[in-house]
Structure 1
Amino acid sequence: MTSIPAASDASPPRLVELDALRGFAALAVALYHFTAEYSDLYGHSVPLWEMRFGKYGVQLFFAISGFVILMSLERIERARDFVWSRAARLYPSYWTAVALTFTVVTLFGLPEREFSLQTALVNLTMFHELLRVPHVDTVYWTLTIELSFYLLMFVLASTRTLPRIIPIFIVLVVLQTLAELAAQSMGMTFVARLASRPHLQYFALGVLAFKQSRGELSVPSALALVGVSLAHEVLVGSEAPVPVFGVVLGIAYALSRGWLRWLTWRPLLFMGFISYPFYLVHQNIGYVLIRRLEAAGWRPEAAIAVALAAGFLLAIFITYRVEQPALRGYRQWRRKAQARTAVPPHIA
């Protein structure tokens, strides 16, 4: 799942279309979970239309992250500030979501999605997938990918190689593709799956869009990165079919050209604002509600509407009572730290 960077006090105006895209992607993923995936897992009481293409909102999230994280890194003076801002943005909401999801599923039950307290505690690290510990909520699988991308970007910022990010990404996507092809040819399915996890081909689209929006992208380098990314999708494939890559590429290009500034519908912008907490809490808690309501005789459509409403309310609570206070606290701490370092030693 993608996330909004903590803006600095002197940050430029927000690109509202990013929030709108994030809101759309979050809604698409939720509708996929509540219609298609729920039907596959538990079965709705009566058939209904399934929004199966909504699952590919995740690929749009990755592209948005490529754009936003590069933009965030260009605003900060020290690479370590990026780490602190990401932690302040991600962890408080995530810890709250893990606690809520674990509590609701433990109290009300959800077949094959009930886990021990120990599993929940390991989930709090956000690195649990690397330890092969199951997710308290399966949506967390994208967080490992996001963290891997953040680590890569932190390394590039620390080594001052961000200006060469396009050729670096070309090389990385080629290496990712070759590693997957080699592992597949040797029958090493686990290694092939591991090599595919970075999803660099989608983050690359966001990186390209940001560079294009700043007029810092040459046509040959853009074509080269798009070419190797498309080659990955054609030769190896991923969790999304090739046409999804084309759609996300088109959206990223429109974003880079400023063609999406008409996306100013307030409900969609607000959905983007609360999208990270919503993404974290909607799935398993929603499944619990849908199962209970359909068992009580509710129509699936009504049960899904209640699950969405519950996700919205929980996301609003987490945004205003957890996420935003944590970000304000981080910014106050950073201002004080900057003020202390600005005082000459003989005065202090």
Structure 2
Amino acid sequence: MTGIAATSDASPPRLVELDALRGIAALAVALYHFTTEYSDLYGHSVPLWGQVPIGKYGVQLFFAISGFVILMSLERITRARDFVWSRAARLYPSYWTAVVLTFTVVALFGLPDREFSLQTALINLTMFHELLRVPHVDTVYWTLTIELSFYLLMFVLASARALPKVIPIFIALVALQTLAELAAQAMGMLFVARLASRPHLQFFALGVLAFQQSRGRVSVPSALALVGVCFAHEVLVGSNAPLPVFGVVLGLAHALSRGSLRWLNWRPLLFMGFISYPFYLVHQNIGYVVIRRLEAAGWRPEAAIAVAFAVGLLLATFITYRVEQPALRGYRQWRRKAQVRTAVSPHVA
């Protein structure tokens, strides 16, 4: 899930359009989970007034936002390893809180096929549990593995001082990913094909391109080449999103690069974007528990969904202000003290 806000010691002004897009993506994914996916998994007590099957593709928008934000974040640091610490401070406190809350709620109230052992929950705390073939305490965590893979790639590029060449590098990477998937499919190696498709590089690439375009660093031929290989991937290989989704994300990324989305400054939407990471982490299974309980008590599905949204928003607000923001403030204070020590030590010596 997660399009994740960039942080820095200087606390630069937030780009409101990024928060707005995060808010839209988070709302879309939650609507999909509470309507279409819940209907598929458990069935609502009575037919819904409407469903939002396209909401699941908010994840692709999150990936593009991450491409933009992470490259922006890397420009604000002087050492690549500081990127690791800043990401950890941003990701883990909220994630640990979400794992504990979700595991506890499901253990207490039950949720068919989504109840796991304490050992599974503890391994989930690493955020690398999928690599160990340990199930997710909440299935939305699958995107975190994708995000971490992208962060690792960007860390390697930053460490190698290759960020100025990030566009040609992504052209090559997306092309190689496409060729690998096509070759695996041709040889009947479906597992390898699915594995190769996991990075979702084509959507991260759109965000990377948008950031570079916003800084005026991309030539038209390079931009067209990157969009071309990403489009070729979607046409020749496909992904878990239909082709029109690629077009929508591309259009939003391009508008973001040109500053054309600054009108998205509706306060509730910006607030939704501000709390979107914790909301994404806690909304699904806890929301399912709320919906099951209320519908069993005779509530209309729409009313139960509204309460599930409210619970998710309250939990996300609590995590944002009581866990995430204090953790970030603590990290920034630690960084400032470390910088002071580094600046003073040569004079002391």
Native 8 Å contact 2:9 2:335 kept in 1: no
State the alpha-carbon separation in 1 of the partners of residues 10 and 120 from structure 2: 41
Q: Residue 45 of structure 2: SS of its match in structure 1?
A: coil
Once the two structures are superposed, the pairs formed by residues 89-100 of structure 1 within 5 Å of their partners are: 89-100=90-101
Q: Name the counterpart of 2:296.
A: 295
- Aligned match of 2:9: 9
The alignment's TM-score, normalised by the length of structure 1, stands at 0.98
- In structure 2, what is the Cα distance between the partners aligned to 1:135 and 1:342? 44
Residue identity opposite 2:98 in structure 1: A
Determine if contact 2:32/2:56 at 8 Å carries over to the other structure: yes
Task: Determine helix, strand or coil for the equivalent of 2:161.
Answer: coil
Alignment check: 8 A CA contact 1:149 1:198 kept: yes
Which string of whole-angstrom CA distances, capped at 9 and with x for unpartnered residues, describes residues 217-246 of structure 1?
Answer: 100000000000000000000010011000
Alignment of 1:10-25 (within 5 A): 10-25=10-25
Q: Which residue of 1 aligns with 2:199?
A: 198
Ranges of 4+ aligned residues in structure 1 off by more than 6 Å:
none
Alpha-carbon distance, 1:12 to partner: 3.7
What do the CA deviations read for 1:314-346 (whole angstroms, capped 9, x no partner)? 000000110001000000000000000000435
- 2:149 maps to 148
Contact kept in structure 1, 2:9 and 2:336, CA below 8 Å: no
C-alpha deviation, 1:190, in angstroms: 1.4
Determine whether 1:223 maps to 2:224. yes
- Supply the distance in 2 between the matched residues of 1:344 and 1:190 (Cα, whole angstroms): 53
Q: Matches of 1:145 and 1:4 in 2, distance apart? A: 13
Partner residue, 1:66 = 67
5+ residue gaps in structure 2? Answer: none
Q: Which runs of 5+ in 1 are unaligned?
A: none
Q: Distance in 1 between matches of 2:7 and 2:199?
A: 25
Q: Which amino acid aligns with 1:59?
A: Q
With normalisation by structure 2, the TM-score equals: 0.98
Q: Distance in 1 between matches of 2:231 and 2:347?
A: 59
Does structure 2 retain, via aligned residues, the 8 Å contact 1:5–1:85?
Answer: no
Q: Deviations over 1:18-38 (max 9, x none)?
A: 000000100000000000000
CA distance in 1 between partners of 2:4 and 2:291 (Å) = 30
Distance of 2:182 and 2:127 partners within structure 1: 29
Tell me if the contact between 1:64 and 1:206 (Cα under 8 Å) persists in the aligned partners.
yes
Query: Per-residue deviation at 1:186?
Result: 1.7
Matched, 1:242 2:243: yes
Same amino acid, percent of matched pairs? 88
Match in the other structure for 1:232: 233
Alpha-carbon separation, structure 1, partners of 2:97 and 2:196: 31
Mapped partners of 1:276, 1:132: distance in 2: 24
Q: 2-side partners of 1:9 and 1:89: how far apart?
A: 13
